[in-house]
Amino acid sequence: MTRETKKTLLLVLLGLSLRLFLIFPGPFESKVEFFANKADLRNYYWPAQTALRGENPYTLWANGQSGEFRADMAPLELLLYVTTVAVWNDPRALQVLFALFDAANIALLGMLLRQSPLKLPFQIFYALSPLTLYNLTLVPQDKTILLTLTFLMFHLLTHHASRNTFHPFGFAQGKVSRFTFHVLRFTFHVLRFTPASLVVLVAALLASFKWLSVFYLLPLLLFISRDARAFVKHALSFAMIIALTHLPWFPDWMYVYTFRATRVATPLHIAPAVLLDALGWFDKTMLMAMLAASLVAIYALFWFKRIDIFETMALSVMAGILWTPDMDPVHLSIVVIHFLLIVDWTRGVRLLTVWVLSAWVAAVYAISTRMGFMRYGLSDLRMLTGAYGSPQMIVLSYVPFLAVLAFYLADKARGRAVGRMLLGCAETTQEVAG
């Protein structure tokens, strides 16, 4: 086992242990629960428990028989939760599942960033930062799964292959036995997987959970396709996987998308739409037009090779999430993490800024949703942050995002390494064809 592998393993164990402590705090339960927010967890657990009993959570929700709970998730996500609670029928089982995905994310960052200066700083940040511990653990979130699929896709895109040769798991050579490595390579050769088809698979799974990859699907397919025929093949494969993952509970899950369509018309949480609404400027059609215009501009920059595929993905996720009228602090943290993958923040003032603002945004989120600080003899700290969803709280929540965006724009303007160059890719041309 190499020294780098030992560091990764240590951080995986440390990150997982810390998350398990927050899930099972023992004598510190009252203090941990004070800061926790499990509203979404209840909406993950109720549909899974309902399906486990043989009932249809989508039908119950659509018919107004679910009480305060919702089955607001795609069928693939529900299947995962049903499988989890079948092992242990308790909400904490889902929290453990998210913690395991977080542990996997630390390991994936080690694989993805193995040739990048981001590697160790990012692994430490993901394992221990207030941004991830609060937004993904104390506020239990399925977004850990989205990050797992995102990191895996980034990894596949950085480990290209020559035609008909498998290389995405080339990192394994030298770290596992020769027999294991050749078994892996043979298995993927028999299944006729290529790096491009694996990227399509991961992108489709990501879309099957939360549709995040749809924001950058067009440039992604262009990047991995050698020609028009390959582009069509990959697009059809993507659509087929999406269709297959939506077979369970068909057509009852369609109410999920009906529900989400109605939310687009109402500004919620900390979306820029809330600020526009406060100024009397909110218009749903205008917002969708801004989203479309932003994505077209990003795609154009990619097409004319002003930005690479990794920058395109980060910018597209930013546009897709920011222009969504119901964006919450967890969604904004996903945007921040995407930018941390494509810009060098690992030294000096930038490193300090990222950690300080990570604590900042977690504190703003925590304080804005709680009045209980007065029981400890403190005044209502919401005077500092504003109540959750207020213009004051929203503006304060955007500080970390604006900082990492400024890092990216500054480095781009100065010609510093960003995106593909920063990730330490072995090649500089688009070679993930398949």
Residue 235, by phi and psi: left (phi above 0), alpha (psi -120 to 50) or beta? alpha
Q: Are 395 and 434 in contact (CB under 8 A)?
A: no
Q: Which residue has the tokens 């602090």?
A: 329
d(CA 93, CA 305): 45
Q: Which of these, 369, 425, 377, lies nearest to 397 by C-alpha position?
A: 369
Residue type, 124: I
Half-sphere exposure of 99 (CA within 13 A, CB side): 21
| pLDDT score, position 432 | 46
Q: What residue spans of 279-398 are helical by DSSP H? A: 284-303, 309-322, 329-340, 348-368, 382-385, 391-397
| pLDDT score, position 204 | 97
d(CA 86, CA 156): 32
d(CA 262, CA 259): 5
Residue type, 49: Q
Q: What is the pLDDT along the chain (434 residues), one digit of tens a residue?
A: 899 999 999 999 999 999 999 999 999 998 888 888 899 999 999 999 999 999 999 999 999 999 999 999 999 999 999 999 999 999 999 999 999 999 999 999 999 999 999 999 999 999 999 999 999 999 999 999 999 999 999 999 987 533 333 344 443 444 445 655 565 565 555 456 788 999 999 999 999 999 999 999 999 999 999 999 999 999 999 999 999 999 999 999 999 999 988 877 789 999 999 999 999 999 989 999 999 999 999 999 999 999 999 999 999 999 999 999 989 999 999 999 999 999 999 999 999 999 999 999 999 999 998 765 655 666 678 888 999 999 999 999 999 999 999 999 999 999 999 999 999 864 433 444 44
| pLDDT score, position 187 | 54
d(CA 33, CA 392): 26
Which secondary structure element, helix H or strand E, spans residue 411, and what is its range? helix 399-414
Residue spans per domain, the chain = 3-414
Half-sphere exposure of 42 (CA within 13 A, CB side): 9
d(CA 132, CA 330): 9
Longest dimension (CA), the chain: 68
Q: Which of these, 112, 4, 162, 152, lies nearest to 420 by C-alpha position?
A: 112
Q: Are 325 and 284 in contact (CB under 8 A)?
A: yes
d(CA 205, CA 201): 6
pTM for the structure as a whole: 0.91
d(CA 222, CA 243): 22
**Burial of 377: CB neighbours in 10 Å, binned 0-12, 13-18, 19+:** exposed
